[in-house]
Structure 1
Amino acid sequence: MALPAAVTRDQARDPDFFPGFGLAIPLGVQHVLAMFVSNLTPPIIIAGAAGFGFGSPDPSALIYMIQMSMLFAGIATLLQAVGVGPIGARLPLVQGTSFAYIPVMIPIVAGKGVEAMAALTTAALIGGLVHGILSMFVGRVRFALPPLITGLVVLMIGLSLMRIGVQYSAGGVPAIGTPAFGAGQSWLLAAVVVLATLGLKFFARGIWSTASVLLGLLAGYAVALAMGRISFDAVASAPVAMLPSPFHFGFALSASAILGFVLTGFVSSIESIGDVEAICEGTAGRPATDAELQGAVAADGVGTALAAVFGAMPNTTFSQNVGLIAITGMMSRHVVTLGAVFLILCGLVPKIGAVVTTIPIEVLGGGVIVMFGMVASAALSMLASVEWNQRNMLVFGVSLSLALGLQLEPDAVAHLPETARVLLTSGVLPAAVLAIVLNLMLPRETADEEPALVAAE
């Protein structure tokens, strides 16, 4: 959606500028459309891993999680855009449920049912509070997070999730998915979503292109409906309105879960720092201030803790919405505020969540393949600014090799304590920690390169 001529470039780059409801409302809804599917995917993945996801006899817990993901994404977005004291960057940052935590969350709940959600949400609450406290030190550690590190972290998030996309497209996680796992019918539905998404993205314009993933899912849904794969029983039985309930899943302390959330919170803050810097430098044409970075990370932590109290997933800034701002050129935080209000209203209507649960797992899989692939592609874009000398290649290569290898072969650390196994096989955490340590400790060049540099001088 292009800006009207009445809006000057300086106005569009001002976070405090309000373009009027006639433009702000459609731009705000466009932000919601751009993040809607990504925001709902993590709770669906976690519910599926726990065993109460798609196809379960009682979808009420999943419907609740979906509703809360919308409600608290809206509330966390308000924290970022409007701000409360030191909390919030006061920039047009859209918050949503975080993919970064999924590799840590899945082992916590895998096959354990809804009862495991108590330990997960409790860990998210504590991790969010620690995350908020750590925001006070963002300015001091900013030097340790160059594009080499942030790009690697985002790449590992994408790589860690790609297996889920394939599993969903084939019919769900084996043993708890559809009976005909890997059947041609399953891949047909996933292919419809992927092809429709690509077609709209490349050959359509405006909102049709921006919301291509959402529209691709609708195309796959329509095909599934024609095939008789959709049941609306859950929609009919869902209540008209739903309010969040404190500690909906209970309260349970798990040392490994808490440590995983605390460390992943640090990883999530790296992603948020990259988003803030991208929006300030790419749209406003200036570097981000320490106050903006600290406020953004603080809102991440507080938003995560608040969501966890009511049984929702952790929150973080959404990179796809940063890209949307770059496309529209409109940096008004008031646009995002209106989108947040729309999300909150959606979160209070359970019929919406019930409709989402009717989506066949294969249809969701097609969308997930596109989304997770784009996460990895965004990482490559971030890494393009890195100077790829031998030193940086070694830091990146060793960190990626060890982290991805342990994730692909978790039995390699089978004799370690449970907490260590969960953290070491998460993919994202070991990659981030090892890369940061190596980047800080290793000299700027290898021994072979030093003589050449001296001779050149």
Structure 2
Amino acid sequence: MDDKIKNKSNNSNTSNTSIDNLYRLDGRVSIQQAVPFGLQHILAMFVANIAPIFIVAGASGLTTEQSAMLIQSAMLIAGIGTLIQLFPIFRLGSGLPIVMGISFTFVSIFCYIGPVYGYNAIVGAVLIGGLIEGCLGLFARYWIKLITPIVAASVVTAIGFSLLSVGASSFGGGSGSEAFGSATNWILGSITLICCILFNIFAKSYLKQLSVLFGLVVGYIIAIFLGVVDFSALHGSAIIALPSIMPFKPEFNLNAIVSVTLIFLVSATETIGDTSALAATGLGRDATLKETSGSIACDGFISALSSVFGCLPITSFSQNVGLVAMTKVVNRFAIATGAVIMILAGVFPILGSLLATLPDAVLGGCTIMMFGNIVISGLQMISKCGYTQRNITIAALSLSVGIGFTQVPEIFDIFPHIIRTVFAENCVAVVFIVAIILNLVLPKNMEAAAASKEASK
């Protein structure tokens, strides 16, 4: 009898330890516990991962078959990039639970380059721009001091605010949808959001952290009954297929390269913000130089690899940073199972097509709170920096200019096209530039400088 009680106690302790390991980077967790968390991360970003492909392919005049090939490559590259972020190779990767996917930041410039210079010029520009960003990451120690904590905190806050409209757009059914804002989308988004909240309140133990997955599953089932899930893409999907290497021969157009490289610098800024936010919210500490450097290097070099498969640049996904902020689950093995699911979706296109049937409204119901968490994380980071006059000036002015000006993009009309493309609708880039400039020009101790000036009178 005593032996049975001891065995029960030991099993309980082992189970509790395994659950606790979900909140540790390198804790050992069972595959049964890991897979749901990995799947939750992939579902949270899957639609956003393939959406840029549809937009750019359509603008560039690619065929349906070419678009399908690029989507397959996007899933494979996103999975590989995530694995390298989780488990660094040489100096590539941060070692943090960062999930990678196709970047939306480049869509506007690609929609200009594609029709003017052709999709091959996009591929060539991604190859060169990715290599440049990767090298910047490797040598980050020479310039990273420009990114002080208050600059990083301002960028993270801007990322959160920039995503709020994305979440709202998904909630309404997806930008450009004929049924945008319909009663059906409102019902789906609301039910999904309520399910996430209720599951988080009533679920026990670590299961609480699967609230997003629960909401997605319930919302998806209801969407099927409402007849808004489109399964038509499954009929033409191959069961298994290997991605093509160099399906588009790169063309190196100087205008395209310069434009895309500038956007890569913006992407690097977002990656710095995501890395800072993830370390702060998931691990309760600042990101190290090694982690930030590896994160940017992975961002660039894997984007260059993506071009080899004819695909677009990848970057860290803020959606998943928000998910970590909500759940605090940072276990690398758990998130790696999601990366493996992405790779399988790249090799088995029918799996990717099935995941792509997730309605936007269902996704919006889950992500709206995740994006709000990023805003709160940024504000917490600002608070941690301290409310000195200097920090308040940097944060307040960079956020007001960055978010305010990009709400009225016409204000940039006097600038050349490249400037408008980079900054007019990208509040993160504007916040970053303004915060960097203020950080360089403002006195290190504004209070002391003001007091000294007052005393001299």
**Normalising by structure 2, what TM-score?**
0.80
The CA deviation at 1:443 is: 0.5
Taking the aligned partners of 1:421 and 1:181, their CA distance within structure 2 comes to 28
Amino acid at match of 1:361: D
Amino acid at match of 2:141: G
Change (3 A) 1:29 1:119: farther
Taking the aligned partners of 2:453 and 2:34, their CA distance within structure 1 comes to 52
**Alignment correspondent of 1:268:** 270
Q: Report SS of the residue matched to 2:444.
A: coil
**Alignment correspondent of 2:439:** 439
Taking the aligned partners of 2:126 and 2:13, their CA distance within structure 1 comes to 39
Paired residue for 1:71, among 64, 70, 76?
A: 76
**Alignment correspondent of 2:100:** 96
- The answer to whether the Cα contact below 8 Å between 1:40 and 1:66 also exists between their aligned partners in 2 is no
Amino acid at match of 2:148: P
Answer with 221-230 or 1-10: which moved more.
Answer: 1-10
- The answer to whether the Cα contact below 8 Å between 1:39 and 1:70 also exists between their aligned partners in 2 is no
Taking the aligned partners of 1:442 and 1:389, their CA distance within structure 2 comes to 12
Q: Report SS of the residue matched to 2:100.
A: strand
**Alignment correspondent of 2:183:** 184
**Alignment correspondent of 1:243:** 242
**Residues 155-234 of structure 1 mapped to structure 2, 5 A cutoff:** 155-173=157-175, 176-178=176-178, 180-205=179-204, 208-234=207-233
**Residues 415-426 of structure 1 mapped to structure 2, 5 A cutoff:** 415-425=414-424, 426=426
Amino acid at match of 2:266: T
**Alignment correspondent of 2:154:** 152
Amino acid at match of 1:125: L
Q: Report SS of the residue matched to 2:187.
A: helix
Taking the aligned partners of 1:2 and 1:419, their CA distance within structure 2 comes to 59
The CA deviation at 1:438 is: 0.9
The CA deviation at 1:200 is: 2.0
Amino acid at match of 2:193: V
Answer with 337-346 or 58-67: which moved more.
Answer: 58-67
Structure 2 residue 362 is the aligned partner of structure 1 residue 363: yes
Change (3 A) 1:170 1:72: same
Q: Report SS of the residue matched to 1:230.
A: coil
- 1:294-315 Cα distance to aligned partner (Å, 9 max, x none): 3333223222222233215413
Runs of 5+ consecutive residues of structure 2 not aligned to the other structure: 1-11
Structure 2 residue 41 is the aligned partner of structure 1 residue 35: yes
Taking the aligned partners of 2:413 and 2:447, their CA distance within structure 1 comes to 37
The CA deviation at 1:92 is: 4.7
The CA deviation at 1:5 is: 5.9
Q: Report SS of the residue matched to 1:97.
A: strand
Q: Report SS of the residue matched to 1:102.
A: coil
**Residues 26-65 of structure 1 mapped to structure 2, 5 A cutoff:** 26-47=32-53, 49-50=55-56, 63-65=68-70
Amino acid at match of 1:267: T
Taking the aligned partners of 2:388 and 2:437, their CA distance within structure 1 comes to 18
The structure richer in helix per residue is 2
The CA deviation at 1:255 is: 4.3
The CA deviation at 1:62 is: 5.8
Taking the aligned partners of 1:155 and 1:279, their CA distance within structure 2 comes to 13
- The answer to whether the Cα contact below 8 Å between 2:157 and 2:374 also exists between their aligned partners in 1 is yes
Change (3 A) 1:127 1:40: farther
Structure 2 residue 389 is the aligned partner of structure 1 residue 385: no
Change (3 A) 1:421 1:192: same
- How well do the aligned residues superpose, as a CA RMSD in angstroms? 3.9
The CA deviation at 1:138 is: 2.1
- 1:147-202 Cα distance to aligned partner (Å, 9 max, x none): 321222122222223223323333332xx412x43222221222122222222233
Taking the aligned partners of 1:136 and 1:238, their CA distance within structure 2 comes to 40
Q: Report SS of the residue matched to 1:385.
A: helix
Q: Report SS of the residue matched to 1:133.
A: helix
- 1:339-371 Cα distance to aligned partner (Å, 9 max, x none): 543432233111122123333333333334233
Corresponding pairs, count: 435
Change (3 A) 1:363 1:7: closer
The CA deviation at 1:14 is: 8.0
The CA deviation at 1:280 is: 9.5
Identity %: 26
**Alignment correspondent of 1:138:** 140
Q: Report SS of the residue matched to 1:168.
A: helix
- The answer to whether the Cα contact below 8 Å between 2:171 and 2:360 also exists between their aligned partners in 1 is yes
Q: Report SS of the residue matched to 1:384.
A: helix
**Alignment correspondent of 1:25:** 31
